[in-house]
Amino acid sequence: MKPLKRVLILAASPRKNGNSTLLALKAAEGVKAEGGEADVVEIGHLKIAPCNACDSCITKPEAGCVIKDDMQLLYRKIRAAQGIIFATPIYWFNMSAQMKLVIDRAYAIQDKQYFAFTGKDVGVILTYGDVDVFASGGVNALRSFQDICSFVKANLVGTVYGTANKAGEVQTNRELLQKAYDLGKKLVNPK
Ligand SMILES: Cc1cc2nc3c(=O)[nH]c(=O)nc-3n(C[C@H](O)[C@H](O)[C@H](O)COP(=O)(O)O)c2cc1C
């Protein structure tokens, strides 16, 4: 039997009913509908310190990251996943600090040509308060994820983004919810 495709969904909103989290949960439904395994982790509720650039992960890779916080759990989940969806609010014209922390700390998984997200299928979900992806700064986050995927040779499968300001507001945006669901399905079968 073909093993289930594991999709890790990192949801960075720190708030209850965060719009990006609601879209992340929709994407998880899509993953499951397509026969995959979805693991949604609300990283906005974890304790994760910034990378301190000690480079211990480079000089002693077998020891891994020296910072023993909630990122240790994520290292295991990132390694085990074949697909990753990054779901983040836009804060100050880019991805949120909570999301950037995790990406910085993923630096600890690397070995010459291999990085944490190398070879994985990747999806991106963004929500923002302003009228569109340009005014909100969503474009900067998209560009960041494109550059990251290109650098580590990950396969950017799709992006979903839209306006939603108050917590939970996205619930009434059926089109966006459908796009998130479809992104989840596409992560399992990128074609
Ligand atoms: C600190 C902070 C900075 C924000 N910066 C922006 C911004 O630069 N552009 C924008 O369109 N919305 C901005 N917003 C609005 C959020 O992106 C918006 O409320 C979004 O829906 C939050 O996602 P969430 O519901 O998943 O937490 C900001 C909100 C906060 C709290």
Mutation pick for ligand 1 pocket among 91, 165, 169 (CB with most ligand atoms within 8 Å): 91
- Condensed to tens digits (0 to 9), the pLDDT of residues 47-98 reads 999 999 999 999 998 889 999 999 999 999 999 999 999 999 999 999 999 9
Q: How confident is the model at residue 187 (pLDDT cuts 50, 70, 90)?
A: very high
Residue 150 has what pLDDT? Answer: 97
DSSP code for 129: S
CB < 8 Å & 24+ apart, contacts of 51-58: 51/101, 51/104, 51/105, 51/107, 51/108, 57/107, 57/108, 57/109, 57/110, 58/110
Q: Is the pLDDT of residue 3 over 90?
A: no
- Condensed to tens digits (0 to 9), the pLDDT of residues 130-169 reads 999 999 999 999 999 999 999 999 999 999 999 999 999 9
Q: Is the pLDDT of residue 43 over 90?
A: yes
Q: Which atom of ligand 1 is nearest to the CA of 21?
A: 26
Cα of 173 vs centre of ligand 1, distance in Å, is: 17
Mutation pick for ligand 1 pocket among 90, 93, 171 (CB with most ligand atoms within 8 Å): 90
Q: Which atom of ligand 1 is nearest to the CA of 166?
A: 19
Token pair recorded at residue 74: 């994520």
The percent of residues above 70 in pLDDT, for the chain, comes to 99
Cα of 143 vs centre of ligand 1, distance in Å, is: 18
Nearest residue CA, atom 17 of ligand 1?
128
Residue 62 has what pLDDT? Answer: 86
